[in-house]
Amino acid sequence: MSIWKYANPKQFMQTSAWALRWLVPLTAVLMVLGLVWGFFFTPPELRQGSTVKIIFLHVPSAMIGINAWLMMLVASLIWFIRRHHVSALAARAAAPIGATMTLIALITGAIWGEPMWGTWWAWDPRLTSFLILFLFYLGYMALWAAIEEPDTAADLTSVLCLVGSVFALLSRYAVNFWNQGLHQGPSLTVAQKQHVADAYWYPLMICIAGFIAFFVTLVLLRTRTEIRARRLQALLARERMG
Amino acid sequence: MIALFLRDLRLAIRAGGGFGLGLGFFLIVVVLVPLGVGPEGRTLSLIAPGILWVAALLACLLSLDRIFALDHEDGSLDLLATAPIPLEGVVTMKALAHWVTTGLPLTLASPVLALLMNLPGPGYPWLMLSLALGTPALSVIGTFGAALTVGLKRGGLLLSLLVLPLYVPTLIFGAELVKRGAAGQAVATPFLLLAGITAGAAALLPFASAAALRVNLR
Amino acid sequence: MTPPAAALAVTDLAVSRGGLPVLERLRFTLHPGRALILRGPNGSGKTTLLRTLAGLQPPLAGFITAPPETIAYASHADGLKATLTVAENLAFWAQIFGTGDIGAAVDGMNLRGLLDRQAQNLSAGQKRRLGLARLLVTGRPFWLLDEPTISLDVASVALFAEVVRSHLAAGGAVLIATHIDLGLPEAEVLDLAPHRARAPAAGGLMGAFDEAFL
Kindly report, residue by residue over A74-126, the tens digit of the pLDDT: 999 999 888 888 899 999 999 999 999 999 999 998 888 888 777 888 888 88
Please give the DSSP secondary-structure letter assigned to residue A44.
Answer: P
Specify the pLDDT at position A195: 54
Could C214 and A234 be called an inter-chain contact, meaning their C-beta atoms sit closer than 8 Å?
Answer: yes
Could you tell me the strand order of the sheet in which C8-17 lies? C20-30, C8-17, C61-65
Could A174 and B149 be called an inter-chain contact, meaning their C-beta atoms sit closer than 8 Å?
Answer: no
When pLDDT is averaged across residues C35-43 and rounded to a whole number, the result is 83
Average pLDDT, chain B: 89
- Please tell me the distance in Å from B131's CA to the nearest CA on chain A: 17
Distance of CA B65 to the CA centre of its chain: 12
**Kind and range of the H or E run holding A195:** none
pLDDT tens per residue, range B1-39: 788 888 888 888 777 656 778 888 889 999 999 999 888
Residues of chain B with Cβ-Cβ distance to C80 below 8 Å are: 74, 76
Could C214 and A235 be called an inter-chain contact, meaning their C-beta atoms sit closer than 8 Å?
Answer: yes
Query: Residue C175 and residue C13: Cα distance in Å, rounded?
Result: 16
pLDDT tens per residue, range C76-113: 777 788 888 888 888 888 888 887 778 877 887 777 88
C5 pLDDT band, cuts 50/70/90, is low
Could you tell me if C55 lies within 8 Å of chain B, comparing CB atoms? yes
Tell whether the torsion through CA atoms of B190, B193, B199 and B204 is positive or negative: negative
B69 pLDDT band, cuts 50/70/90, is confident
Cα distances (angstroms) measured from residue C114 to each of A149, C61, C107, C117, C154: 42, 45, 11, 5, 20
Distance of CA C54 to the CA centre of its chain: 8
Could you tell me the strand order of the sheet in which C188-191 lies? C71-74, C142-146, C173-177, C35-39, C188-191
Specify the pLDDT at position A184: 36
- Residue B198: count of CB within 10 angstroms of its CB: 23
Specify the pLDDT at position A183: 38
Q: How many CA atoms lie within 13 A of B91 on its CB side?
A: 28
pLDDT tens per residue, range B93-140: 999 999 998 999 999 999 999 988 888 888 899 999 999 999 999 999
Of C207, C208, C214, which has the smallest distance from its Cβ to A231's Cβ?
C214
Domain of B149? 2-217
- Please tell me the distance in Å from C50's CA to the nearest CA on chain B: 12
Could A151 and C213 be called an inter-chain contact, meaning their C-beta atoms sit closer than 8 Å?
Answer: no
Q: Could you tell me the maximum CA-CA distance found in chain C, to the nearest angstrom?
A: 59
Q: How many CA atoms lie within 13 A of C102 on its CB side?
A: 21
Please give the DSSP secondary-structure letter assigned to residue B82.
Answer: T
Q: Which residue of A has its CA nearest to B166?
A: A167
Chains that touch C (3 or more CB pairs under 8 A): A, B
Among A126, A8, A115, smallest CA distance to A59 is for A126
pLDDT tens per residue, range B188-200: 888 999 999 999 9
Could you tell me if B217 lies within 8 Å of chain A, comparing CB atoms? no
Query: Residue A241 and residue B216: Cα distance in Å, rounded?
Result: 24
Q: Are C145 and C175 contacting, i.e. CB atoms less than 8 angstroms apart?
A: yes
Q: Tell me which fold the domain C8-213 belongs to.
A: Rossmann fold (3.40.50)
User: How would you class A63 by CB atoms within 10 Å of its CB: exposed for 0-12, middle for 13-18, buried for 19 or more?
Assistant: middle
CB pairs under 8 A between A and B: 78
Tell whether the torsion through CA atoms of B4, B10, B15 and B16 is positive or negative: positive
Could C80 and B217 be called an inter-chain contact, meaning their C-beta atoms sit closer than 8 Å?
Answer: no
Query: Residue A103 and residue C206: Cα distance in Å, rounded?
Result: 42
Specify the pLDDT at position A1: 52
Of A8, A233, A242, which has the smallest distance from its Cβ to C209's Cβ?
A233
pLDDT tens per residue, range B150-206: 988 777 889 999 999 999 999 999 999 998 888 888 888 889 999 999 999 999 999
Could A159 and B152 be called an inter-chain contact, meaning their C-beta atoms sit closer than 8 Å?
Answer: no
Cα distances (angstroms) measured from residue C57 to each of A88, B146, C10: 20, 20, 15
Query: Residue B111 and residue B127: Cα distance in Å, rounded?
Result: 8
Q: Are B139 and B100 contacting, i.e. CB atoms less than 8 angstroms apart?
A: no
Of A139, A152, A155, which has the smallest distance from its Cβ to B162's Cβ?
A139
Tell me what percent of the residues of chain B surpass a pLDDT of 90.
50
Residues of chain B with Cβ-Cβ distance to A139 below 8 Å are: 161-162, 165
Could you tell me if B40 lies within 8 Å of chain C, comparing CB atoms? no
Residues of chain C with Cβ-Cβ distance to A238 below 8 Å are: 199-200, 210, 214
Q: Are A142 and B158 contacting, i.e. CB atoms less than 8 angstroms apart?
A: yes
Which positions ≥6 away from B181 have C-beta within 8 Å?
Answer: B122, B123, B125, B126, B127, B129, B130, B187
Residues of chain A with Cβ-Cβ distance to C199 below 8 Å are: 238, 241-242
C214 pLDDT band, cuts 50/70/90, is low
Could you tell me if C56 lies within 8 Å of chain A, comparing CB atoms? no
Specify the pLDDT at position A191: 44
Least reliable range by pLDDT among A180-194, C27-41, C120-134: A180-194
Could B83 and C96 be called an inter-chain contact, meaning their C-beta atoms sit closer than 8 Å?
Answer: yes
Residues in chain C: 214
Which is more confidently placed, A182 or C203?
A: C203
Query: Residue C153 and residue B200: Cα distance in Å, rounded?
Result: 53
Could you tell me if B106 lies within 8 Å of chain C, comparing CB atoms? no
Query: Residue B69 and residue B15: Cα distance in Å, rounded?
Result: 15
**Kind and range of the H or E run holding A184:** none
Of C77, C83, C92, which has the smallest distance from its Cβ to B15's Cβ?
C83
Query: Concatenated DSSP letters for chain C?
Result: -PPPSS-EEEEEEEEEETTEEEEEEEEEEE-TT-EEEEE--TTSSHHHHHHHHTTSS--SEEEEE--TT-EEEE-SS----TTSBHHHHHHHHHHHTT----HHHHHHTT-GGGTTSBGGGS-HHHHHHHHHHHHHHHT-SEEEEESTTTT--HHHHHHHHHHHHHHHHTT-EEEEE-SS--S-TT-EEEE-GGGBPPPGGGT----HHHHHH-
B72 pLDDT band, cuts 50/70/90, is confident
Query: Residue B72 and residue C25: Cα distance in Å, rounded?
Result: 31
Could C210 and A150 be called an inter-chain contact, meaning their C-beta atoms sit closer than 8 Å?
Answer: no
Residues of chain A with Cβ-Cβ distance to B53 below 8 Å are: none
Strand partners, C10: C28, C64
Within 111-150 of B, beta carbons closer than 8 Å to A belong to 144, 148-149
Three-state SS at A49 = strand
Query: Residue A80 and residue A87: Cα distance in Å, rounded?
Result: 9
When pLDDT is averaged across residues C155-168 and rounded to a whole number, the result is 82
Instruction: Pick the most confident of A52-66, C12-26, C150-164.
Output: A52-66
Q: Which residue of C has its CA nearest to B5?
A: C92
Cα distances (angstroms) measured from residue A35 to each of A22, A66, A125, A198, A217: 20, 21, 28, 16, 18
Q: Which residue of A has its CA nearest to B164?
A: A135
Three-state SS at A66 = helix
Q: How many CA atoms lie within 13 A of B34 on its CB side?
A: 21
Could C209 and A230 be called an inter-chain contact, meaning their C-beta atoms sit closer than 8 Å?
Answer: yes
Query: Residue A219 and residue A101: Cα distance in Å, rounded?
Result: 13
Domain count, chain B: 1
Domain annotation for chain A: domains and CATH numbers: 13-241 (1.20.120)
Low-confidence ranges of chain A (pLDDT < 50): 181-192
Amino acid at site C160:
F
Of B74, B81, B85, which has the smallest distance from its Cβ to C80's Cβ?
B74
CA dihedral B65, C55, A161, A78 (to 10 degrees): 170
Could B168 and A174 be called an inter-chain contact, meaning their C-beta atoms sit closer than 8 Å?
Answer: yes
Specify the pLDDT at position C2: 47
Specify the pLDDT at position C211: 56
